[in-house]
A and B are shown apart, each in its own frame.
Chain A
Amino acid sequence: MRRILPVALAAIAAMASASSLAAQANIRITGAGATFPYPIYSKWVLEYTSVRPNLQINYAAIGSGGGIRQFSDHTVDFGATDGPMTDSMIGAVNGNVIHIPTVLGSVVPTYNIPGVTQQLKFTGDLLAGIFLGQITNWNDSRIAAVNPGVSLPNQDIVVVHRSDGSGTTYIWTDYLSKVSSDWSRRAGKATSVNWPVGLGGQGNPGVAATVSRTPGSIGYVELIYAIQNHIAYGTVRNRAGNFVQASLASTTAAAAAAMQTIGDDTDFRISITDAEGPDAYPIASFTWLLLPKQMTNPVTARPLLEFVWWATHDGQRFTQGLDYAALPARVVQLVETRLKSITLNGTPVLPANVGGHRR
């Protein structure tokens, strides 16, 4: 007994010190927000554990609105959103926010017209007209004008939209607002809008199921969802006048093209729908992380920024496998300067030479 006691005490002491060390080394970071990028974010979190094993990142996909609210209430270390914060929301946090684009998504029109097997072409005017309820039959001459050679039936158009609030709806309505002043006046852009016509389907699966089972219907789904579920979709005419098939490449091209007209001082709250550029797919958008400009937590500040740095650089190689479009090079460059500008108590969090070791 006398011999065992000191050993046991030593063991307990060792365990205690080890656990306190572990507690120091284990850093927890929490984030919340958009559901659209959730698959890639959770992939990044998983892969990043091999880079920083003692860093624990929890991302809750509670929706963009919830992400902005939790970020504004400082209950999470970072937020995530599919639609940028408005000026008044930024005012509510005293401007203490930086939008960091992480990946790109795009939205495609999908339709079900009995007897039509060719890929349909759409223009902004057509889509706006259909979703406003001004074009109500597939045999409308305006549809036939951009689809020569396709025999369109005399069939009523059934519009299907998302019933749940969604970043997908934000991108879709942002595009319609840009190409149609009528749309921007009557419905506008938001995660949910006052739809002039149509049925609401719940989520991408709800829209896709309703479209596939309703003759004469047209809806919109995320490109990722369409690719992974082999749903046919139409091409859309871009500003350059080309009918572009949505793809990861044409989505990245839209961002690259849009960035050419954007200054270096951008806050990234930019819409890249209806972008210039011959290959740009016109219904695309960034999804953003929300980070504070002035960080206050010395424990999480640097690991968080290093994670975001990694995600926007090395992490981009995981986008392809999950069907997200990667950031164009210029965006990554600008993201670097933004991340370097973030401070903790007045001094930059990341060292000036960060990324120097990166090839």
Chain B
Amino acid sequence: MTALAPEQPLARAPRISSAERWRDLRIVSRGDAIYRVALLALALLLPLLLVAIVGGLVVGAWPAIKQFQFGFLTHSVWDPVAGKFGALPLIFGTIYSSLVAMIIAVPLALGAAIFLTEFAPRWMRTPVGTLIELLAGVPSVIYGLWGLFVLIPLLRDVIWPVIKPAVHWLPFFSGPFYGPSVLAGGTILAIMVLPYVAAVSREVLRAVPPSQREAALALGATRWEAVWTVVLPYGRAGIFGAVVLGLGRALGETMAVTMLIGNRHEISLSLVQPGYTIAAAVANEFAEAVSSMHLSALVYCGLVLFVITVLVNAAARWLIWRVARGSAAGSAAV
């Protein structure tokens, strides 16, 4: 056997048929096949996890879904004692506080990103950029405490008395301002999402080719005109993505918001009134939810939040796709 071994390949080599070669190849690629299956399994694991989460939510929420159906989304009474649950104030509060946060955060974050990429002296860019990104590393409970002890007193005792006469007639600022409110919650959310929006926008703006700016400057544009008419439109898909990333974070943020928003199941346009968000309600009531319907209603809330997040992301993708297509057309026009 051992003596024959070196001869065999030599003797066989010229006589290999194409079928045999294919078999050999398959043997060689068995490792590839295993590799491919392993990668496939890993790639499918994450979507499967998503499916499992949805499945778990639906199963947990089923008693509430059966009892309240879609009325859950349109009713405003949340009464664990009577077993009546309606999530409309929570849904409203989640979206409203996130919108407030984005209205505050996006101009700030974009301004910071534009300044850091286009106008700031070189020595300033890295330190300031890093400091902004450091904001993302602060734990949310710290934001909550800071909000409770610094932001709320500041808003209530310093800012509100000054702006109240000017804005009190607006429906957005009606009623007394005690402190914990949509405004406080939205402001803290804005600070929390700001580093995400700023960091991604900065990368997007940095990726705009210098030739674009140079072309605009060569045509006689000022630096500001170059930014406004060329750099921003060029990067708008990416900037939009940054905003959506921040929005997704704002929708799901729990701890800091629940400490500042007042936790009241009520729909009010007024920013100075308390509100409530889905994530905050689930975190607040889950541990001590004694009745099974209460628990199920909270899981239903989680499902609703999940759906809202998916819808926001889907809408954002569609918009990015539209915007990206539009930017090509726009650059043709220039």
> Given A194, A199, A213, which contacts B153 in the complex, CB threshold below 8 Å?
A213
Encoded as 1 (CB less than 8 Å from any A CB) or 0, chain B from 48 to 70 comes to 00000000000000000000000
The answer to whether B287 and A65 touch across the interface, beta carbons within 8 angstroms, is: yes
Question: What distance in Å separates the Cβ of B331 from its nearest Cβ neighbour in chain A?
Answer: 50
Contacting pair B263 A202 (CB below 8 A): yes
For residues 160 through 207 of chain A, which have their beta carbon under 8 Å from a beta carbon of chain B? 163-167, 187-195, 198-202, 206
Place the interface of chain A in its size category: 35 or more
Quick check: A209 and B148 within 8 Å, CB to CB?
yes
Contact in complex: A165, B180 (CB < 8 Å) = no
Q: Which of A89, A188, A213 contacts B81 (CB 8 A)?
A: A188
Check if B152 is an interface residue, CB within 8 A of chain A.
yes
Give the distance in Å from the alpha carbon of A66 to the alpha carbon of B294 in the complex: 12
Quick check: B79 and A193 within 8 Å, CB to CB?
yes
B interface majority secondary structure: loop
Contact B148 A194, beta carbon cutoff 8 Å? no
Instruction: Determine which of A69, A200, A209 lies in contact with B263 in the assembled complex, contact meaning CB atoms within 8 Å.
Output: A200
Q: Tell which of A164, A187, A198 touches B284, judged by Cβ atoms closer than 8 Å.
A: A164
Report the Cα distance A201→B178, complex, angstroms: 13
- Point out the residues of chain A lying under 8 angstroms from B284, CB to CB: 163-165, 192, 200, 202
Assess whether A163 is in contact with B258, with CB atoms less than 8 Å apart: yes
| Dominant secondary structure at the A interface | loop
B32 part of interface (Cβ distance < 8 Å):
no
The closest CB in chain B to the CB of A35 belongs to B287
Query: Which residue of the partner chain, among B259, B285, B288, contacts A167 with CB atoms under 8 Å?
Result: B288
Query: Which one of B81, B176, B258, B265 has the highest number of Cβ atoms from chain A below 10 Å of its Cβ?
Result: B81
Interface residues of B in 119-165 (CB under 8 A from A): 148-149, 152-153
| A166 and B259 alpha carbons, distance in the complex (Å) | 16
The answer, yes or no, to whether A292 is at the interface (CB within 8 Å) is: no
Contacting A189 at CB < 8 Å: which of B81, B276, B288?
B81
Q: Do A213 and B287 touch across chains, with their CB atoms under 8 A apart?
A: no
Cβ distance B150 to chain A, nearest Cβ, rounded Å: 11
B179→A165 contact, CB < 8 A? no
Query: Pick the contact of A66 from B80, B82, B152, B287 — CB < 8 Å?
Result: B287
Which A residues fall within an 8 A CB radius of B? 35, 62-66, 68-69, 83, 86, 89, 156, 158, 163-167, 187-195, 198-202, 206, 209-210, 213-214, 217
> Can you name 30 A-B pairs with beta carbons within 8 Å?
A35-B287, A64-B288, A65-B294, A68-B290, A83-B290, A86-B290, A89-B290, A156-B176, A158-B178, A163-B284, A164-B285, A164-B287, A164-B288, A166-B288, A167-B288, A188-B82, A190-B80, A191-B80, A191-B289, A192-B80, A194-B81, A195-B264, A199-B180, A199-B262, A200-B274, A202-B258, A202-B284, A206-B148, A209-B148, A210-B148
A sample of 10 more A-B contacts (CB under 8 A), given A164-B283, A202-B258, is: A65-B287, A89-B290, A156-B176, A163-B280, A165-B285, A167-B288, A190-B290, A195-B264, A213-B152, A213-B179
